């Protein structure tokens, strides 16, 4: 459903408005391209000659079509407009009238009947050509005279006739069927009634049903008056009694007597019997209006059994129903195809998916939609497939995760079509590609939707107000719609049978008990509060302020006085803007504060600290007085009115939103005429700049909301608009990521010159290459992605950009490039080419543990093989492990061969600057086979001939077995010591994180400050769990940013983890005794950081195979024991842990050298004790 519209504007001056060059990506969730608010007509035709049946339809004055995109996926395009006429279009049809191979269109208005010829360019037709002038009531396209060309039949209130097609779409000759004295029929059906293969004419005129024989040349002769008391307007022709000829079925309606009647073609030659009743049909309800098209009837073979069935519709039942033809003019019971076509006006049948079965489509007016129902065979149909989903008269829009997948969806209410609808964020990036999901369209005028978790079950519910009638009296209701967690809702009434309209709803925790309560504004009655008991059940209404003479216009719950609780802000028609203080923080609103004593039509208000003085100012729009601005809070309970610069016309809504990302809240509002959606830059100190354009592609904005729709950690805003004051039908929901428009970007690609002839667009991208840009004050760096692309953000300055990764065997062209940004919102390109100095092979391999090794648990290891050479390579990766301590379970790629403790994986065509990664899962044996403190060793080998650095073709990982762990940690794989001779080798780090909450983390940011003795230019990102962007600022401040990660909580434990694995070299001048320290801060959404452990690696002259204190110096006694166990140790014991034979921890002591087992059952236990740098495990017998 989502469309991206990118607006670019130059420096313009219009009236008193000035707006500067900038670009705003507009992301349309839904607009009139998907909607037909007043859809009135529909027919079917293969309009584009692609052998798929399309829909041709009319929305008042507009002709549009819905292209059948795929018969396999049963999908149609959004609305594609064809033509808009000055007056209402009353009928439309299509065929190739002029026989040029392209479909033409014929349509009817009160002025006549017109034809537009097709050009072959889809959706492009000629200007209308008049065929008939005057007010005609019907036309049909068919070959009347059997000459092989399609003619046009037309009728008016006084006459009926046809025009002969000369074969090229011209109609020089016309013929009259009925004289003016006879009058035109209300129903005209062309069918062969006498078996001579010529289209005869069956009519209903007044109370008479007649048929006229066609002699084959288009001359019609009355053959029989079949009925003279036909009350009702609907009729169809079909073989009712399955005898091979055409009978007539008639929908008789006379008060409460409603029947299916039929007239038998007795001899196949058009001699019809008198009326017989097939069955009764549903009568109209008492008081139902007779000025609507109440019924419809057609006959066709629904279930593919060779017999014509009855299909009919009933307006007030919103249904399409069919009855099976059982033979001999008997029919089965009703089979409902749909009862969800609100105010159904018409239906028809066509084969939309080319499966040979008659599908049904319907046109309904109350819910303004065209829908179709796939015939599944034997008379069963699919659920409703809506083709013109949309909204009409939106009045509220709100944001939240409706389906429980962690991203932000949207919910709207619209009073023109009585819909409560939601829109699914399909990828977490703000793509709303699926059709609108209608929650409810059976209420009247739903408004003021508020999306929140009412029952504390972790999903988003919503509250809404709507109206209904009881005995012709309008009443009002407040209802909660509870979410089952996947976007299915159940209604729960909060307040019922309200005699006064509800003119505002707001939710907040007003009593500070951890759940959301409800505030409502009743017209000329009171402000009411409903207290939530925590499970979504609300108290009866409690009035907290009388507004007996006031008509509310807007209602918000906000902290007006910076005291940490929620107050209430309200505006009234021709009255005050005032706020009600939550005086005790528990929902007592005993004090009101006047912002302004009178404003004519303050249709919306909100708050922000516009002038930066630390208190809350009030933003407003005054609709009829053409004002927008803010009331400056003077800090003493008084306010001073301030207006935005320039003229504002008919603004209805306003928000405070940081458009340009400078940390100051700007003002966003809408107006008429252009610029429609605009913003005013906050210059600081209470000063606002002139109006700047956001977009003109919008109607009258009825509501705003703010949320992060693309998961990048920065708030976006959404606007819902309806038909504007200029008459434009712009029913639309659209969201904007405006802050990105005020960033300068340096982007480009790094390519590898594989064919040694200079880089071209066809050369492959080089992944994981660091690109750096710097000005006189700062430097920024990032890595290329799999395609070689990168992007860096810059401010207004001159920058120099270059490839930063050390590439000793490559030349980089150009070595650097200069970008000069003189404004904001600019993007400059900088591509680089990597040219090898020679043909060489260079493979590197690493192994990273993605979680800790624990007895009895599965551990995952990531093998990374990187091609640092200049040519594609083939080879084998061998991974060895101790199979006595663990067993292989699975891997991301099946091994090509395996043996005890060894796995082999083949690879082919591994390109330069690309990597091969394999995840291997190993199941650790339980205690006592695999014990806490055991040192495990893993080896990965990727040997290739002629490798210029064969030493890095093998990687050895050593890992200690542990009993417990912190899921947010950092590890250095080389351990606590390296030799001075290893200072030119890489240190390998892995940072692991887990969302230990119970809800998705939308965004994760890992901040890692590099030790100043590590060479940041050698930083190489080796592997990661989720897509991310790495940013290196000023050489040592590294951030790994996982936008739109939507990391599940512990309720989905296996998927709640993530990691980053990188390697980096020490600086060349390090010496013995230098220690490299590393830790990380992990931010989940907007929560405080989780700080990992700190790892240290020291450069030493010698690494001892055992510590200076031998493990033989440790002693545990007595063993066996009756209870107390003592530990003799030359070092302080930090922790003692006891495990049972199943590997479960049962005791733990810290900073002690003894432990009591006397309360434990007899048996064998595993006792682990840890000193500063050693772990020792021993079996102990409790006797």
Query: Which pLDDT tens digit goes with each residue over 542-573?
Result: 999 999 989 999 999 999 999 999 999 999 99
Q: Which is more confident, 1005 or 388?
A: 1005
Dihedral sign of CA atoms 836, 837, 841, 845 in order? negative
Residues 1005-1029 have a mean pLDDT of: 95
Closest CA to 156 of 118, 196, 205, 122: 205
Domain ranges for the chain = 36-165, 302-345+354-388, 743-836, 843-1100, 1111-1182
What pLDDT sits at residue 1141?
67
The span from the first CA to the last CA of the chain, in angstroms, equals: 72
Asked whether residue 91 carries a pLDDT value surpassing 90, the answer given is: yes
Q: Which is more confident, 964 or 552?
A: 552
**Under DSSP, is residue 302 helix (H, G, I), strand (E, B) or coil?**
coil
- Cα–Cα distance, 769 to 780 (Å, whole number): 14
> Cβ distance 230 to 289 under 8 Å?
no
Residues 52-75 have a mean pLDDT of: 89
What pLDDT sits at residue 1144?
73
For the ranges 267-271, 434-438, 613-617, the lowest mean pLDDT is seen at: 434-438
**Under DSSP, is residue 317 helix (H, G, I), strand (E, B) or coil?**
helix
For the ranges 71-85, 199-213, 717-731, 842-856, the lowest mean pLDDT is seen at: 717-731
Kindly report the three-state secondary structure assignment for every residue of 855-875: CCCEEEEEEEEEECCCCCEEE
Asked whether residue 40 carries a pLDDT value surpassing 60, the answer given is: yes
Q: How confident is the model at residue 51 (pLDDT cuts 50, 70, 90)?
A: very high
What pLDDT sits at residue 290?
54
Asked whether residue 1036 carries a pLDDT value surpassing 60, the answer given is: yes
- Cα–Cα distance, 233 to 187 (Å, whole number): 7
Domain 843-1100 indexed as CATH 2.60.40.740: yes
Q: Which is more confident, 1177 or 711?
A: 711
Give the pLDDT confidence of 902-938 residue by residue, as tens digits.
Answer: 999 999 999 999 999 999 999 999 988 999 889 999 9
CATH top class, domain 743-836: mainly beta
Closest CA to 994 of 1007, 980, 1004: 1004
Dihedral sign of CA atoms 1138, 1142, 1143, 1144 in order? negative
**Within 10 Å of residue 8's Cβ, how many Cβ atoms?**
10
Kindly give, in sequence order, each residue whose CB lies less than 8 Å from that of residue 71, ignoring residues fewer than 6 positions away: 52, 352, 353, 354, 355
- Cα–Cα distance, 199 to 502 (Å, whole number): 60
> Cβ distance 1059 to 991 under 8 Å?
yes
Asked whether residue 1112 carries a pLDDT value surpassing 60, the answer given is: no
Q: How confident is the model at residue 14 (pLDDT cuts 50, 70, 90)?
A: very low
- Cα–Cα distance, 370 to 355 (Å, whole number): 21
> Cβ distance 1003 to 1043 under 8 Å?
yes
Go through the chain and tell me how many residues it has.
1183
Q: How confident is the model at residue 17 (pLDDT cuts 50, 70, 90)?
A: very low
What pLDDT sits at residue 1122?
87
What pLDDT sits at residue 75?
80
Cα-based angle 164, 167, 172 (whole degrees, multiple of 5) = 40
What pLDDT sits at residue 1131?
77
- Cα–Cα distance, 789 to 768 (Å, whole number): 10
Give the pLDDT confidence of 232-276 residue by residue, as tens digits.
Answer: 889 999 999 999 999 999 999 888 888 999 999 999 999 999 999
Asked whether residue 1011 carries a pLDDT value surpassing 80, the answer given is: yes
Asked whether residue 661 carries a pLDDT value surpassing 60, the answer given is: yes
Give the pLDDT confidence of 784-808 residue by residue, as tens digits.
Answer: 999 999 999 998 999 999 999 989 8
Please classify residue 204 by burial: count the beta carbons closer than 10 Å to its beta carbon, then call 0-12 exposed, 13-18 middle and 19+ buried. buried
Does 1111-1182 match 743-836 at the fold level? yes
Peptide bond preceding 675 in cis form (omega within 30 of 0): yes
Q: How confident is the model at residue 292 (pLDDT cuts 50, 70, 90)?
A: low
| pLDDT more than 70, % of the chain | 95
- Cα–Cα distance, 387 to 370 (Å, whole number): 5
**Which helix or strand (DSSP H or E) is residue 670 part of?**
strand 666-670
Give the pLDDT confidence of 664-700 residue by residue, as tens digits.
Answer: 999 999 987 777 899 999 999 999 999 999 999 898 9
Residues 98-102 have a mean pLDDT of: 94
Max alpha carbon distance in the chain (Å)?
124
> Cβ distance 708 to 714 under 8 Å?
yes
Residues 618-635 have a mean pLDDT of: 95
Domain 1111-1182 indexed as CATH 3.40.50.1100: no
- Residue 166: left if φ>0, alpha if ψ -120 to 50, beta else—which one? alpha
Q: How confident is the model at residue 1172 (pLDDT cuts 50, 70, 90)?
A: low
β-strands 827-829, 744-752 pairing: parallel
Kindly give, in sequence order, each residue whose CB lies less than 8 Å from that of residue 565, ignoring residues fewer than 6 positions away: 510, 512, 559, 582, 585
Tokens linked to 13: 């001056």
Asked whether residue 1045 carries a pLDDT value surpassing 80, the answer given is: yes
Asked whether residue 616 carries a pLDDT value surpassing 50, the answer given is: yes
Kindly report the three-state secondary structure assignment for every residue of 40-98: EEEEEECCCCCCCCEEEEEECCEEEEECEEECCCCEECCCEEEEECCCCCCEEEEECCC
For the ranges 284-293, 1038-1047, 1091-1100, the lowest mean pLDDT is seen at: 284-293
What pLDDT sits at residue 1174?
65
> Cβ distance 1038 to 1009 under 8 Å?
yes
- Cα–Cα distance, 146 to 1047 (Å, whole number): 69
What pLDDT sits at residue 13?
27
- Cα–Cα distance, 570 to 547 (Å, whole number): 11
Q: What is the DSSP string of 173-203?
A: EEEEEE-TTT---SEEEEE-SSSSSS-EEEE
Q: How confident is the model at residue 1115 (pLDDT cuts 50, 70, 90)?
A: confident
Tokens linked to 475: 């009443």
- Mean pLDDT (the chain) is 91
Give the pLDDT confidence of 971-985 residue by residue, as tens digits.
Answer: 999 999 999 999 999
Q: How confident is the model at residue 299 (pLDDT cuts 50, 70, 90)?
A: very high
Closest CA to 724 of 754, 690, 758, 696: 696
Report the DSSP beta bridge partners of residue 4.
27
**Under DSSP, is residue 421 helix (H, G, I), strand (E, B) or coil?**
strand
Cα-based angle 1046, 1093, 1024 (whole degrees, multiple of 5) = 40
What pLDDT sits at residue 19?
36
């Amino acid at each position: 459903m989502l469309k991206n519209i990118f607006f670019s504007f130059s420096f313009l001056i219009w009236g008193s408005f000035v707006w500067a060059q900038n670009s705003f990506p507009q992301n349309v969730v839904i607009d009139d391209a998907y909607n037909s608010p007043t859809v009135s007509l529909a027919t079917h035709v293969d309009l584009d000659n692609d052998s798929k049946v399309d829909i041709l339809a009319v929305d008042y004055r507009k002709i549009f079509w819905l292209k059948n995109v795929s018969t396999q996926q049963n999908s149609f395009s959004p609305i594609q407009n064809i033509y808009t006429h000055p007056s209402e279009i009353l009928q439309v049809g299509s065929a190739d009238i002029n026989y040029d191979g392209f479909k033409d269109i014929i349509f009817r208005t009160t002025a006549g009947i017109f034809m537009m010829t097709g050009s072959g360019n889809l959706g492009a037709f000629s200007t209308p050509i008049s065929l008939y002038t005057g007010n005609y009531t019907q036309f049909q396209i068919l070959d009347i005279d059997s000459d092989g060309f399609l003619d046009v039949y037309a009728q008016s209130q006084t006459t009926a006739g046809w025009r002969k097609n000369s074969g090229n779409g011209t109609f020089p000759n016309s013929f009259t069927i009925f004289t003016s004295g006879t009058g035109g029929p209300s129903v005209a059906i062309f069918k062969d009634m006498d078996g001579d293969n010529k289209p005869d004419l069956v009519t209903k005129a007044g109370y008479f049903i007649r048929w006229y024989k066609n002699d084959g040349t288009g001359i019609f002769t009355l053959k029989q008056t079949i009925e003279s008391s036909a009350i009702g307007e609907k009729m169809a022709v079909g073989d009712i009694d399955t005898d091979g000829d055409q009978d007539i079925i008639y929908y008789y309606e006379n008060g409460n007597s409603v029947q299916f009647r039929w007239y038998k073609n007795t001899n196949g030659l058009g001699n019809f019997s008198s009326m017989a009743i097939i069955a009764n049909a549903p009568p109209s309800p008492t008081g139902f209006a007779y000025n609507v098209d109440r019924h419809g009837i057609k006959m066709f073979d629904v279930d593919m059994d060779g017999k014509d069935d009855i299909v009919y519709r009933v307006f007030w039942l919103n249904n399409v129903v069919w009855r099976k033809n059982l033979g001999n003019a008997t029919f089965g019971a009703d089979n409902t195809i749909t009862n969800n076509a609100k105010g159904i006006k018409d239906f028809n049948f066509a084969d939309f998916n080319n499966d040979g079965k008659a599908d049904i489509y319907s046109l309904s007016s109350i819910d303004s939609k065209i829908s179709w129902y796939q015939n599944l065979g034997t008379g069963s149909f699919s659920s409703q497939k809506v083709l013109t989903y949309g909204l009409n008269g939106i009045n509220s829009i709100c944001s939240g995760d409706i389906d429980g997948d962690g991203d932000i969806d949207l919910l709207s209410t619209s009073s023109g079509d009585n819909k409560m609808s939601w829109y699914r964020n399909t990828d977490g990036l703000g793509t709303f590609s699926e059709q609108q999901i209608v929650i409810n369209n059976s209420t009247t005028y739903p408004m003021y939707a508020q999306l929140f978790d009412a029952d504390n079950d972790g999903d988003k519910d919503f509250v809404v107000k709507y109206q209904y009638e009881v005995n012709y009296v309008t009443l009002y209701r407040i209802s909660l719609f509870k979410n089952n967690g996947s976007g299915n809702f159940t209604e729960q009434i909060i307040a019922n049978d309200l005699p006064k309209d509800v003119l505002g709803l707001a939710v907040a925790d007003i009593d500070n008990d951890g759940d959301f309560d409800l505030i409502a504004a009743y017209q000329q009655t009171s402000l009411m509060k409903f207290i939530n008991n925590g499970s979504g059940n609300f108290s009866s209404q409690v009035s907290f302020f009388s507004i007996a003479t006031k008509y509310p216009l807007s209602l918000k719950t906000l902290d007006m006085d910076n005291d940490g609780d929620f107050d209430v802000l309200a505006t009234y028609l021709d009255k005050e803007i005032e706020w009600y203080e939550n005086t005790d923080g528990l929902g007592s609103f005993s004090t009101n504060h006047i912002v302004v004593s009178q404003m004519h039509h303050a249709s919306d208000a909100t708050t922000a600290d516009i002038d930066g003085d630390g208190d809350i100012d009030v933003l407003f729009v005054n609709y009829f007085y053409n004002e927008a601005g803010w009331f400056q809070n003077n800090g003493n309970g008084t306010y001073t009115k301030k207006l935005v610069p320039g003229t504002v016309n008919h603004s209805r809504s306003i928000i405070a939103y940081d458009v340009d990302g400078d940390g100051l809240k700007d003002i966003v509002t809408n107006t008429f005429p252009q610029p429609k959606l605009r913003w005013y830059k906050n210059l600081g100190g209470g000063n606002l700049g002139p109006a700047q354009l956001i977009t003109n592609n919008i109607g009258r904005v009825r509501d705003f909301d703010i949320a992060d729709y693309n998961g990048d950690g920065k708030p976006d805003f959404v606007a819902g608009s309806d038909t504007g004051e200029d008459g434009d039908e712009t029913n639309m929901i659209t969201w904007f990521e405006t802050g990105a428009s005020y960033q300068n970007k340096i982007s480009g690609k790094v390519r590898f010159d594989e064919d040694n002839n200079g880089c071209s667009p066809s050369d492959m991208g080089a992944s994981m290459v660091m690109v750096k840009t710097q000005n006189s004050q700062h430097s920024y760096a990032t890595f290329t992605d799999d395609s070689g692309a990168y992007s860096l953000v810059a401010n207004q300055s001159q920058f120099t950009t270059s490839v930063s990764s050390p590439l000793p065997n490559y030349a980089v062209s150009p070595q650097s490039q200069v970008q000069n940004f003189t404004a904001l919102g600019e993007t400059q390109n900088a591509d680089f080419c990597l040219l090898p100095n020679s043909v060489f092979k260079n493979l590197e391999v690493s192994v990273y543990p993605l979680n800790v090794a624990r007895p009895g648990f599965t551990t995952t290891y990531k093998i990374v093989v990187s091609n640092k050479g200049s040519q594609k390579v083939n080879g084998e990766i061998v991974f060895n492990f101790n199979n006595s301590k663990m067993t292989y379970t699975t891997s991301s790629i099946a091994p090509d061969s395996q043996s005890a403790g060894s796995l082999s994986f083949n690879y082919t065509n591994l390109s330069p600057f690309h990597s091969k990664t394999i995840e291997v899962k190993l199941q650790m044996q339980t205690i006592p086979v695999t014990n806490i403190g055991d040192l495990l060793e893993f080896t990965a080998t990727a040997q290739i001939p002629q490798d210029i650095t064969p030493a890095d073709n093998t990687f050895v990982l050593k890992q200690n077995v542990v009993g417990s762990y912190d899921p947010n940690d950092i590890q250095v794989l080389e351990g606590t010591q390296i030799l001075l001779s290893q200072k030119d080798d890489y240190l390998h780090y892995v940072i692991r994180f887990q969302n230990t909450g119970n809800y998705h983390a939308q965004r994760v940011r890992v901040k890692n400050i590099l030790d100043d003795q590590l060479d940041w230019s050698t930083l190489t990102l080796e592997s990661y769990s989720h897509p991310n962007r790495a940013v290196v600022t000023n050489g040592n401040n590294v951030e790994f940013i996982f936008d739109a990660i939507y990391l599940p909580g512990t309720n989905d434990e296996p998927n709640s983890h993530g990691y980053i694995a990188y390697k980096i070299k020490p600086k060349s001048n390090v010496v013995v005794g230098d220690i490299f320290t590393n830790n990380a801060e992990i931010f989940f959404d907007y929560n405080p950081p989780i700080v990992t452990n700190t790892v240290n690696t020291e450069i030493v002259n010698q690494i001892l195979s055992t510590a200076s204190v031998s493990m033989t110096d440790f002693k545990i006694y007595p063993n066996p024991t009756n209870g107390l166990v003592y530990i003799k140790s030359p070092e302080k014991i930090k922790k003692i842990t006891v495990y049972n034979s199943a590997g479960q921890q049962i005791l733990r002591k810290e900073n002690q050298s003894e432990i009591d087992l006397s309360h434990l059952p007899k048996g064998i236990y595993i006792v682990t004790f840890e000193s500063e740098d050693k772990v020792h495990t021993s079996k102990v017998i409790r006797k």
